[in-house]
Amino acid sequence: MSCLSTGPGRFWLEEEPEVSWPARGFGPRWNSWDSPQVDQSTLVALLAHLLIVGHGATAFNLDAAGVVSVLDESDRVRRLSPDRDGLYDLVSLDCAGAVEPQHRLAAQPFPVPALRPGGHPA
């Protein structure tokens, strides 16, 4: 499964560009590519969709600790664990694409600090 594109808060799969999914942010760049980070409900919905349409996943399991194991079309098991914010980086599923430069900063999951008048930190 590879991403066709990523943008401000959305990503698309190469196999289905007409369907987009919400991204909560983007993980560390991997081999010059960006990988979407998603919450658990988006990951489960994405994997269920992939099972139905027959792209990339043939089975998956969510355990009590939140670890998702995915059996791919090559019979490899890929495990995705949530980070400290509960997000899953889809690089483990080979989902990586390019974030357009104008969206790179907007796509980061980090909060923007509050500023006082004059531009000084609050």
Per residue in 30-60, pLDDT tens? 676 778 889 999 999 989 988 888 877 889 9
Whose tokens are 């995705």? That residue is 80
Question: How much is the pLDDT for 106?
Answer: 45
DSSP 8-state secondary structure symbol assigned to residue 92: G
Find out whether 52 and 104 touch, Cβ atoms under 8 Å: no
Residue 43, classified by CB atoms within 10 Å of its CB into exposed (0-12), middle (13-18) or buried (19+), is: buried
Question: How much is the pLDDT for 112?
Answer: 41
Find out whether 77 and 83 touch, Cβ atoms under 8 Å: no
Question: How much is the pLDDT for 117?
Answer: 56
What is the sign, positive or negative, of the torsion defined by CA atoms of 55, 56, 59, 62? negative
Question: How much is the pLDDT for 80?
Answer: 93
Question: How much is the pLDDT for 6?
Answer: 55
Q: Which residues does the chain have with pLDDT short of 50? A: 102-114, 119, 122
Q: How many CB atoms lie within 10 A of CB 48?
A: 12
